[in-house]
Amino acid sequence: MNLGPMLSLAWFVALVPLLTACVLGFIRHPGTASLVNQAAAVLAFVLALLLPFSTDPGGLWLAPDDLGIHFAILTSFIGVSAALMSGPYIRIELETGRMTPTRARAYHALFQAFLGFLLLGLLADNAGLTWIAIEAATLSCVLVVGLAGTPRAVEASWRFFIVCGVGIALALFGTIVLYLAASAAVGTGFAAMSWRAITAAAPRCNGLVLNLAFVFLLLGYGTKAALAPLHAWMPGAHAEGPTPVSAVLSGSLLNVAICVILRTRHILASNPMAISPNDALIALGLASVLLGGISLWRRADAKRFFAFSTMEQSGLAVFGFGIGATGAALLHLTLHTLAKAALYQCLGHAAQRKGGQSFTEIKGLIASDRTLGLSLAASIIAVAALPPFGMIVSLFLILSFTAAHTPWLAVPLLIGIGAGAVALIHRLQTLCLGPPTPSKFPPVAALTLLPALVLLGLTILLGFAMPPPVAAWFARIATELTP
């Protein structure tokens, strides 16, 4: 059996964080661990950037498609900014005694493991390997969330575990059924697990078996993508985990799951006998937008609050994929990942400064910390899809596409988005404006906000002045995703 080139570029992208995770398990000094963590994240990002230019056809295990490469670049970039934030964040957690050195060591190792498995899942061309990678990423993430060891953190990670465990079980069943469907068309063995081979052979597969596979894959990976009503794990996991991980979690774990759902959608849409996968995406996406937007109104915890906003925005992207606004939805997902990562970084610093993460503890940030308050305000505006940030563009594209093709769906969509945006602006006012609450800890250096500001700058650039090669790249993926 020819295993193909075992060490292609894609392997390096995934192996750098995974091997670094092993090394970080042995580094006792938190400062050194933090530097190694940052260096590995930067290296993985640089390698991921080379992926679009790689002519390597890929091997049996890893043969990334453009969608996978796109999300791999995005994930590794978010990884860099989160690793840069981890340095000062962990230092303060250690100084204030909220984290022990042993736990800081576990944090760094798990961070890289989480990143590595996410990248592996994105770049894998084998449905089984994708499943294993996402399962392992979930495991490392559950451990990070429970790291604080407080009852709330343990509760959040337990719920994360049980809900995602069920999701993972359903996804595995879907993978097995997908193999069954594909093996009838391409023969048994590895070919029947390759995303590319299955997509190419989709018209010859049995439609009924594909339907069954799709139901389980959608429910299973939909749990990971936090689509309503499968989102129960997400708010707690965001609220209790260390903030740099919330930033990665908020975009990237969701993106990996959405990436798999999109591949499955492509397979089903290529088969004339199978059900239309888009209706399911529209229904789940719309439910997420509505539930997320309305849930924003009764939250007391800031990190939990913004987790619901993540659910709303990724639901909107899934809705966009469902109605056929593929390019706009991809842009929306990308911009939201960048903006939300920036937001969690600012919020993490604010929560550390004020010594708490509830809305009653963080108030009037601009008056007490001008730069931090302004950055947080800017990132909330970005996440609310308001100008001058790029998400307004993708939101407008999705909305106008909906209004043109299915006008009656635009109404509930607008209600959900409107409810969410108003809630975000309301919280912007209490978090950033007005008289400040007392600060319990020293202010953060302005330089530590730089990664968040770079992320915000990118959302403006991608929304309003996208460089032509990047625009061509987006168009190419959108074409590939349209069967």
What residue ranges bind other proteins (CB under 8 A)?
126, 128-129, 131-132, 135-136, 138-139, 142-143, 149, 151-152, 154-155, 158-159, 161-162, 165-166, 168-169, 172-173, 176-177, 179-180, 183-184, 188-190, 192-193, 206, 208-209, 212, 235-236, 239, 298-301, 304, 359-360
- Closest approach of Cβ 156 to other proteins, in Å? 9
The three-state secondary structure class of 265 is helix
Angle between helices 407-432 and 391-405 (to 10 degrees): 160
Instruction: List Cβ neighbours of 435 (8 Å cut-off, separation of 6 or more).
Output: 363, 364, 367
- Closest approach of Cβ 37 to other proteins, in Å? 23
- The answer to whether 329 and 320 have CB atoms below 8 angstroms apart is yes
In terms of CB distance, is 70 or 159 closer to other proteins? 159
In terms of CB distance, is 146 or 390 closer to other proteins? 146
What gap in Å lies between CA 392 and CA 373, rounded to an integer?
A: 22
What gap in Å lies between CA 66 and CA 144, rounded to an integer?
A: 30
In terms of CB distance, is 206 or 278 closer to other proteins? 206
- Closest approach of Cβ 465 to other proteins, in Å? 40
- Closest approach of Cβ 127 to other proteins, in Å? 10
What gap in Å lies between CA 398 and CA 321, rounded to an integer?
A: 9
242 alpha-carbon distance from chain centroid:
16
- The answer to whether 229 and 128 have CB atoms below 8 angstroms apart is no
- Closest approach of Cβ 98 to other proteins, in Å? 17
- Closest approach of Cβ 361 to other proteins, in Å? 12
In terms of CB distance, is 70 or 299 closer to other proteins? 299
What gap in Å lies between CA 308 and CA 238, rounded to an integer?
A: 10
In terms of CB distance, is 94 or 176 closer to other proteins? 176
What gap in Å lies between CA 320 and CA 403, rounded to an integer?
A: 12
- Closest approach of Cβ 362 to other proteins, in Å? 13
Helix and strand totals (H; E) in the chain: 20, 0
The encoded tokens of residue 179 equal 């193999």
Instruction: List Cβ neighbours of 251 (8 Å cut-off, separation of 6 or more).
Output: 74, 75, 78, 310, 336, 337, 338, 340, 341
In terms of CB distance, is 149 or 388 closer to other proteins? 149
In terms of CB distance, is 214 or 321 closer to other proteins? 214
